[in-house]
Structure 1
Amino acid sequence: MTRTVVVTGAGSGIGRAIASTLAGREWRVVVTDLDGAAAADVAAALPNPDRGHESAQLDVTSAEAASAVASDVAGRLGLHAWVSNAGISFMHRFLEAPVERYQQTVDVNLKGVFVCGQAAAREMVRAGVAGSIVNTASMAGKQGRVPFLADYVASKFGVVGLTQAMAYELGEHRITVNCVCPGFVETPMQSRELEWEAQLRGTTTDGVRDMMIGDTPLGRLEQPEDVARAVAFLLSDDARFITGEALAVNGGAYMD
């Protein structure tokens, strides 16, 4: 039986890799993104198109929009898994960080995980599906020693805690909830962060990149596919007795 998974923030970067990896396995993937055109492009390029992959535009900060997508997918295809991956970042020194940016970061990175997880879980419970939810956190959700990203750190610590709270309450419905904590991932978002951090440190993007690699025992920048394979594991039957975990996928850049 083909199972269906919704992936948020899948128009590029980690989300795109997650969608592609899952489509290459046993999943029918519904690609969602705030940029509906980007989501459609990703869905059209996924492997195993005969499974009927789809796309949808989704603002993860909207409970109504998340519920509409979850209800539609559950009603037509069955909803077996949900990956809350959408996220944003901005870089500022803490003393100069605008409150508006804090609110935007928390809305997307934390509120988005809350409303999407709630929408997905409601449909799974209604249908009696022993589903799986995976949230994208960060190694910045396990340590505050991350420069210029105080609002991002706060949001990702929140994702780790929310994942545990969801796992505890949804366990009785046989729904597992876990999160992945990536490190220095080579994505368009990281490219922007390299430029911001280089300016804030008074160095070059190559200098910041070398610093990231130096902090990673496995000696390279993480690729989106590294994260995607971990997500695939957490959605697999091999992980059915794992819940409430924050899985570090960072090449050893942070160990706990």
Structure 2
Amino acid sequence: MASTVKPTRIALVTGAAQGIGKAIALRLAKDGLHVAINDLPSSQDKLLTTSDEIKAIGRESSVHFADISNEEQVKTMINEVVEKYGGLDVMVANAGVNFVKPFLETTVEQLERVFSINVKGTFLCYKYAGIQMVKQGRGGRIIGASSIAGKTGSYPNISIYSGSKFAIRGITQAAAGELGKHKITVNAYAPGTVITDMSIQFAERSAKENNVPVEDFHKAVAEQIPVKYAGVPDDIAGLVSYLASEEAHFVTGQSVSINGGSFCD
């Protein structure tokens, strides 16, 4: 009699050394997936800590250093994951960079850097994960990181970041349209204000520029959110958990807002 036990699914999460990426990696491990994780070599200690925490949950984990804006490094990373685990079922292209500067002061070089990481990097992760999933013939989940700034360009001083997150929405929709016939869904999450190291640094810089205590800046930001508080990485991880699940087979091409009501679409 054939076994009815399903094999453990395999996930790869980029930018998993800290913040939202780490929370996603740990949540997927709790959901029962083996989780390969990626970040830059400069984040080695934090990434190894994340891997240890995944193993403590009882799942397998491996560490893969790669610059997602480099095509050969992305290909190598995915090949390493497949070689170790035998396949890839969930790709979470979480890695990205923020950039804060007035529009008229932004240089072409700065634009190219942000788009290389946020847009090109996400594209490469989608593409090579998609190639592997099509080859396997068992479907899959591809998930990217957009933003509330990818739905409205009304936030000051983040024009090229906003543009990069709008681009991820477009790539997500287009990829979903082409990969659906292979039972591969492609979605993105679009967070609003989430408390991470990056957002704390942004708040400290903004508070200094506006000559107000950072605590007052945090309160002012929270007051603008309908639920009156900012999100935390685990909130985003919960959404990704659903998008990565088998139950989400009918959800594709979406960039799902998760922002406490700050922007409704």
> TM-score, normalising length from structure 1?
0.95
Query: In structure 2, what residue type is equivalent to 1:212?
Result: V
- RMSD in angstroms over aligned alpha carbons? 1.4
The higher radius of gyration belongs to 2
1:123 and 1:57 map into 2 onto residues whose CA distance is 19
Alignment of 1:18-57 (within 5 A): 18-34=24-40, 35-46=43-54, 48-57=56-65
- Alpha-carbon offset, residue 14 of structure 1: 0.3
Residue deviations 1:5-56, cap 9 Å, x none? 0000000100000011111111111111113332222101225554321111
Equivalent pair of 2:34/2:60 in contact (CA under 8 Å)? yes
Query: In structure 1, what residue type is equivalent to 2:68?
Result: V
- Alpha-carbon offset, residue 203 of structure 1: 3.6
1:67 to 75, 88, 93: 75
Change (3 A) 1:106 1:199: farther
**SS of aligned partner of 1:6:** strand
Larger deviation, residues 156-165 vs 51-60: 51-60
2:210 and 2:128 map into 1 onto residues whose CA distance is 41
Matched, 1:89 2:98: yes
Residue 189 of structure 1 corresponds to 198
Structure 1 residue ranges without an equivalent (≥5):
none
Equivalent pair of 1:20/1:47 in contact (CA under 8 Å)? no
**SS of aligned partner of 1:2:** coil
2:105 and 2:216 map into 1 onto residues whose CA distance is 24
Alignment of 1:4-153 (within 5 A): 4-34=10-40, 35-46=43-54, 48-77=56-85, 78-153=87-162
Residue 180 of structure 2 corresponds to 171
- Alpha-carbon offset, residue 207 of structure 1: 3.2
- Alpha-carbon offset, residue 202 of structure 1: 4.5
Equivalent pair of 2:11/2:36 in contact (CA under 8 Å)? yes
- Alpha-carbon offset, residue 76 of structure 1: 2.9
2:19 and 2:179 map into 1 onto residues whose CA distance is 29
2:218 to 189, 209, 212: 209
2:199 and 2:255 map into 1 onto residues whose CA distance is 21
Equivalent pair of 1:33/1:39 in contact (CA under 8 Å)? yes
1:84 and 1:255 map into 2 onto residues whose CA distance is 24
1:162 and 1:200 map into 2 onto residues whose CA distance is 35
**SS of aligned partner of 2:54:** coil
Q: Count residues with an aligned counterpart.
A: 256
2:68 and 2:235 map into 1 onto residues whose CA distance is 24
2:123 and 2:50 map into 1 onto residues whose CA distance is 25
Query: In structure 1, what residue type is equivalent to 2:97?
Result: I
1:203 and 1:154 map into 2 onto residues whose CA distance is 29
Larger deviation, residues 51-60 vs 4-13: 51-60
Structure 2 residue ranges without an equivalent (≥5):
1-6
2:128 and 2:209 map into 1 onto residues whose CA distance is 39
Matched, 1:218 2:224: no
1:184 and 1:50 map into 2 onto residues whose CA distance is 31
Query: In structure 2, what residue type is equivalent to 1:219?
Result: K
